[in-house]
């Protein structure tokens, strides 16, 4: 009987034998974990890519997850638009009957300005994300 074992042949070159240890907080670990899980990578593969290719964004993104998130955001924007339209119609109804107070108008205008600002910020972020995904 020979001393040869069954199974995959042993790797002669490029064998990974060294360990790198680092301490991170619970929040940092949760963030890193969510990243490698969402990308479908193992912890060691994710960290290796991040460490060795830190100058470039070479980590592949799960495109279907990104597209699903963008679809969800678009649907939510549509719902917000419907709500704003309903509020405007109701305000017009009250205005025709002389029941609309200036406080309500001021509060609506303030909230609508906040909505427009947040919408533009989200639009900038989405465009930046799409530029990064494009390469």
Task: Catalogue the E-assigned strands of 32-97.
Answer: none
Residue 69 sits in the same domain as residue 92 = yes
Residue 30 sits in the same domain as residue 75 = no
Residue 111 sits in the same domain as residue 52 = no
User: Is residue 78, in this structure, part of any structural domain at all?
Assistant: yes
Question: Which residue did the predictor score with more confidence, 49 or 31?
Answer: 31
User: Is residue 82, in this structure, part of any structural domain at all?
Assistant: yes
What is the spatial distance between Cα 124 and Cα 121, in angstroms, rounded to a whole number?
Answer: 5
Residue 74 sits in the same domain as residue 50 = no
Residue 76 sits in the same domain as residue 118 = yes
Q: Would the pLDDT of 93 be above 70?
A: yes
Residue 21 sits in the same domain as residue 39 = yes
Residue 52 sits in the same domain as residue 67 = no
Q: Would the pLDDT of 25 be above 90?
A: yes
User: For 107, phi and psi rounded to 5 degrees?
Assistant: -65, -45
Closest CA to 21 of 37, 39, 40, 44: 44
Residue 74 sits in the same domain as residue 92 = yes
User: Is residue 41, in this structure, part of any structural domain at all?
Assistant: yes
- Give how many domains the chain has, as a whole number: 2
CB atoms within 10 A of CB 34: 10
pLDDT band at 57 (very low <50, low <70, confident <90, very high): very low
User: Is residue 88, in this structure, part of any structural domain at all?
Assistant: yes
Residue 130 sits in the same domain as residue 67 = yes
**Could you tell me the pTM of the whole model?**
0.51
Give mean pLDDT, residues 40-51. 85
For residue 43, give its domain range: 17-56
Give mean pLDDT, residues 73-95. 90
Exposed e or buried b for every residue in 5-25, given b needs 16+ CB within 10 A? eeeeeeeeeeeeeeeeeeeee
Question: Which residue did the predictor score with more confidence, 113 or 35?
Answer: 113
């Amino acid at each position: 009987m020979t001393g040869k074992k069954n199974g995959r042949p042993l790797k002669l070159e490029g064998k990974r034998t060294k360990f790198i240890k680092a301490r991170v907080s619970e929040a940092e670990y949760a963030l890193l974990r969510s990243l490698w899980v969402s990308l479908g990578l193992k912890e060691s593969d994710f960290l290796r890519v991040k460490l060795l290719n830190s100058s470039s964004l070479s980590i592949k993104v799960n495109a279907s997850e990104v597209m699903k998130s963008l679809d969800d955001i678009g649907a939510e924007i549509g719902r917000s638009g419907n709500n704003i339209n309903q509020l405007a119609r109701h305000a017009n109804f009250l205005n025709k009957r002389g029941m609309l107070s200036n406080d309500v108008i001021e509060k609506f205008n303030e909230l609508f300005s906040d909505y427009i600002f947040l919408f533009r910020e989200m639009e900038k972020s989405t465009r930046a994300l799409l530029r990064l995904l494009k390469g």
